A and B are shown apart, each in its own frame.
Chain A
Amino acid sequence: MPATAPLHLAAEIGGPPRYDPGHYTGLARLAEHGALDFVTLGDSFARPGPDALAVLSRVAPATGRIGLVPTVTTTHTEPFHVASAVATLDWVSRGRAGWYVDVSTTGAEARLFGRRPAAPAGELWREAGDSAEVSARLWDSWEDDAEIRDVATGRFVDRDKLHYIDFEGADFSVRGPAIVPRPPQGHPVTVVDGTGGPARETAARHADVVLVRATTPEQAAAARTDLRRRAAAYGRDPDTLRVLVALTVDLGDAETAPEPGLESGPPLAAGGSYYRGGPVDLAELITRWHRGGAADGFHLTPISPGRDLERIVNGTVALLQHRSLFRTFYPGGTLREHLGLARPANRYALEGGRA
């Protein structure tokens, strides 16, 4: 990776459960003030908190540029509904949506639905891959120019540009087409934590952005190389993958904490290796890792978003901007543009073109 490759930054804005929209809007605006690529909002049926996708939809009209990426589980949900909701988030945000694919592994979650028992992670990540595949097909099931409004023939759409997806998987089948027209980004951005195990395979095959937890730059670089190799094996161009190091950060109370650095525990927040120090040292760490080619960027989970996001934006990000290592404004309008990812071609339009 050339030293000049653009740096990508994202932040998680979830924390102790809050139900008032103003709280989330404030944090997303703060992240947007720092020109971050996107914010994520975690979600789980297993602990208190609102539906994350709805929260970020509520945030969308109150923000203008920042990408909005809610966690969405594929385990007990309907793939058809999930694809519709994520596409709709892309419409209401005018091309800033993503989804952070997750699975629900516990028996407690299974009993909330009463449809089937808990299943091993491997099985659930394979199903998550199928759900991502269904989403991508549904998002392509309307060609961009399907709507014709042709008064002469009385036709609103050209139905030859609407496609059945006919997905048949081990857990479900979906006929299509989508009920939502193709979203502004073509495909909203798919984010997967590909740190290890069965999730890595799903990430390599379906994700646009992969998060990896690592405690050394070497570890991160190895994960990145491995993901790119696996993506290539699926016939993907590895340069269409962004690998971000996931860090849980505790910026404490001081400008520079006595012992800045990275530890692998304790796991104070969900996932991520753990950084404790000041905002300046965090900027140093990001600079060092990024220059060394360990990652395309970072996904930061502040242990206390209300306190630490402000320090990340006004401390860490401001310093990176000052050093010309991070953008100071958004040159593009969509999340794909922030990430330097092209709007995907439509698979069905391509098929039609070849036929």
Chain B
Amino acid sequence: MSTATRQMHLAAHFPGVNNTTVWADPRSGSQIDFSSFEHLARTAERGRFDFFFLAEGLRLREHNGRIHDLDVLGRPESLTVLAALAAVTDRLGLAATVNATFNEPYELARRLATLDHLSEGRAAWNVVTSFDAFTGENFRRGGYLDRADRYTRAAEFVATARELWDTWTPDGTPRPFAHRGQHFAIEGEFTVPRSPQGHPVVIQAGDSPDGREFAASTADIVFTRHGTLESGRAFYADVKARLAKYGREPDQLKIMPGVTFVLGDSDAEAQERAAEIRRRQVSPQNALLALEQVWGRDLSAYDPDGPLPDIDPDPGSSLVQGRVRHGDPLAVAARWRALSEEKGLSIRQTVIETTGRQSFIGSPRTVAEQLTEFVAADAADGFILVPHLTPGGLDDFVDRVVPLLQERGVFRSEYGGPTLRSHLGLAEPVWKG
């Protein structure tokens, strides 16, 4: 296959519980009614997307000891909502983010295998490893796991799930299993036959060296934050290079950054819209909050339209709970200060400049071109698109960009097979009896 026609994969992320999702827009609908999930999933399927993706958070975020109230809040439980979506879609993959720390392999493997049966081979599992004591307060064991063990547990969890998915023989006879390891000592019989995909597709979304190694050893897809051309290429090369050690080919692990987009009739119009969306995403209240998330300090006395604080961040702060922290706060603060001084930006303007920027902005033609180049340049195998509006945020992309990608021959016009593995070009895992 020549580089010019390299096929891309596309997924739709249901808008999240952070300020990327603009709820103040009059077109913004319910984040919890089934009709919103149905609309987005049907739109993704109309666009022949590989899969539909749901994130997870097991405790409402807190800021300064109080529940964070500025962003969209409240979601359904992923696997249950995906089982319902299996009834209103035919081909679309259905991916659930489910934590490996606060679940048990037997029950979760059973739920995932059930989803794979109910959807006739469209289930995927995004394995995440949040382990903090804050989240643990909602669970039997509390915050029991050391940070260092988050991936040893996750790796053993996935390996155990794969053993369970293999316990029934291909002709449908259950056989007993026994697993004994550092984290799990379990035995008995699995209640579900081998599912249509053999194993549901496994996605991984951690960025640390441990996370990347875990992905290289066992995942089918990596969901990454590296959504710029430069960092995408570096990440892509790094992760793909780790595969050989596990006897795997580069094709067997798809790298899909989460990206945002803004469309307009012209590039200029799209830029204008993008700026307007960023202003909506970063309200004055949200600007102060973003600042506090980096600084780890109460900065409520500062004016969002005034300059950045002189004091330094508190790196050991517990001000923010239940949110994944990205990057070293001191370095981020230094970068923000430099930018603010250079351009004379207020707090809010600085936050808008540094955090809200969308990945792909332009006319449908420009965006289709950029996405194609991105894949051709080995910065990604495809994209997980994060719309900023529920539930209509994907409509324009599917109506206006997808046909151009299809015209270019870089994205499918029809599904080639029934399962998510077939969309991804991944083989069914060999049955290990």
Contact = CB atoms under 8 A, between A and B. Distances in A.
6 contacts: A21-B87, A25-B87, A50-B117, A84-B76, A112-B186, A179-B75
Given A61-B88, A157-B74, 10 more contacts: A17-B191, A21-B117, A21-B118, A58-B84, A59-B87, A153-B285, A154-B283, A156-B73, A159-B69, A179-B77
Interface centre among A112, A149, A155 (most CB of B within 10 A): A112
B104 A149 contact: no
Contacts of A77: 107
A91 B76 contact: yes
B69 A81 contact: no
Contact of A154 (B70, B117, B187): B70
A51 B114 contact: yes
Interface stretch (B137-145, B357-365, B373-381, B393-401): B137-145
Contacts of A171: 140
B89 to A, nearest CB: 10
B286 A154 contact: yes
Nearest to A50: B114
B39 to A, nearest CB: 13
Give the bracket for the number of chain A residues in contact with chain B. 35 or more
Q: Which of A17, A19, A57 counts the most chain B CB atoms within 10 A? A: A57
* Size category of the binding interface on chain B: 35 or more
Interface of A: 17, 19-21, 25, 44-45, 47-51, 53-55, 57-62, 76-81, 84-85, 87-89, 91-94, 108-109, 111-115, 142, 147, 149, 151, 153-159, 162, 171-177, 179-181
Contacts of B140: 78-79, 171-172
Interface of A is mostly: mixed
Contacts of B24: 149, 151
Interface of B: 23-24, 32-34, 38, 57-60, 66-67, 69-77, 79-81, 83-84, 86-88, 102-104, 106-107, 110-111, 113-115, 117-118, 137-140, 142, 174, 184-189, 191-193, 283-286
Contacts of A88: 76-77, 80-81
A153 B69 CA distance: 10
A77 B77 CA distance: 15
Nearest to A45: B191
Contact of B115 (A54, A61, A84, A87): A54
A11 B118 CA distance: 22
B151 to A, nearest CB: 20
Contacts of A45: 106-107, 110, 188, 191
Given A54-B114, A176-B138, A155 B69 contact: yes
A112 B80 contact: no
A92 B81 contact: yes
B23 A89 contact: no
Contact of B80 (A53, A79, A111, A174): A53
B74 A142 contact: yes
Given A54-B114, A92-B76, A149 B23 contact: yes
A142 B83 CA distance: 24
A162 B59 CA distance: 12
Chain B interface SS verdict (over half):
loop
A15 to B, nearest CB: 15
Given A19-B117, A61-B88, A50 B60 contact: no
A253 B198 CA distance: 40
A91 B140 CA distance: 26
Nearest to B174: A48
Given A154-B283, A179-B58, A181-B74, A51 B87 contact: no
Contact of B77 (A62, A85, A153, A159): A85
B193 A19 contact: yes
B79 A181 contact: no
Contact of A157 (B38, B69, B84): B69
B138 A80 contact: yes
A206 B192 CA distance: 31
Given A85-B77, A114-B185, A180-B77, A60 B69 contact: no
Residue in A62, A85, A171 whose Cβ sees the most chain B Cβ within 10 Å: A85
Contacts of A60: 84, 87
Contacts of A20: 117
A43 B17 CA distance: 33
A179 B139 CA distance: 13
A157 B71 CA distance: 8
Given A48-B192, A114-B184, A177-B67, A91 B104 contact: no
Contacts of A50: 113-114, 117-118, 191-192
A58 B83 contact: yes
Nearest to A151: B24
A184 to B, nearest CB: 9
A102 B117 CA distance: 24
B80 to A, nearest CB: 4
Contacts of A59: 87
Contacts of A79: 140
Contacts of B80: 53-54, 57, 85, 88-89, 92
A76 B60 contact: no
A108 B285 contact: no
Given A48-B192, A159-B69, A180 B74 contact: yes
Contacts of B188: 45, 108-109, 111-112
